[in-house]
């Protein structure tokens, strides 16, 4: 998985691979939510869903963050990333999570079930994240009062990976 992450993120590959390691070793890690795409015996894609929090008016709400999403360069533009996103949404929904957040290109994610989070009542965890890149998928257990600021787990800050892409 680290090989795929390093290749997919280019110059930022080592930093994002470090984030992956830190998240997997943290209390934000949720067993069963590290998703891998394979072609034959070759790992060609990976994404990790980790626990984060929504600082809602009534109370903190546990939510998911999808990061990183990595597809090996030779496997890009073949549906691997889309398949990982579908699997991520399915796993999040099935497990009862209300929201799935990510940072990413809205041209890609908006056609795959994600929407700009700001207009839906969610505040970004950092000013470094461009508003259009702050995306959310609203899952079936979401309730209307669940709005507020996303709070990332510590590894995002320690790895300096907030607003990276």
Assigned token pair, 108: 């890609």
User: Is a pLDDT exceeding 80 seen at residue 165?
Assistant: no
Query: Mind listing the domains of the chain with CATH numbers?
Result: 2-158 (3.40.630.30)
pLDDT band, very low/low/confident/very high, at 1 (cuts 50, 70, 90): confident
Distance CA 31, CA 127 (A): 30
Q: pLDDT by residue (tens digit) across 40-75?
A: 999 999 999 999 999 999 999 999 999 999 999 999
pTM for the whole structure: 0.95
Q: What are phi and psi of 76, to 5 degrees?
A: -70, 155
State in Å, rounded, how far the first CA of the chain is from the last one: 19
Pairing of strands 115-116, 122-123: unpaired
**Could you give the 3-state DSSP secondary structure of residue 90?**
helix
Contact 9, 70 (CB under 8 A): yes
């Amino acid at each position: 998985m680290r090989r795929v992450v390093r290749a997919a993120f280019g110059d930022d590959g080592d930093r994002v691979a470090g984030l992956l390691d830190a998240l997997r070793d943290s209390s934000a890690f949720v067993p069963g939510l590290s998703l891998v795409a394979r072609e034959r015996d070759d790992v060609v894609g990976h994404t990790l869903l980790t626990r984060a929090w929504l600082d809602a008016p009534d109370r903190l709400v546990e939510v998911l963050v999808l990061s990183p999403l990595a597809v090996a360069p030779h496997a890009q533009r073949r549906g691997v990333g889309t398949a990982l996103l579908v699997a991520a949404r399915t796993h999040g929904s099935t497990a009862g999570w209300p929201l799935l957040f990510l940072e990413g290109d809205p041209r890609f994610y908006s056609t795959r079930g994600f929407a700009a989070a700001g207009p839906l009542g969610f505040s970004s965890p950092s000013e470094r994240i461009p508003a259009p890149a702050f995306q959310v998928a609203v899952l079936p257990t979401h309730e209307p009062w669940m709005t507020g600021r996303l709070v990332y787990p510590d590894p995002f800050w320690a790895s300096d990976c907030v607003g990276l892409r």
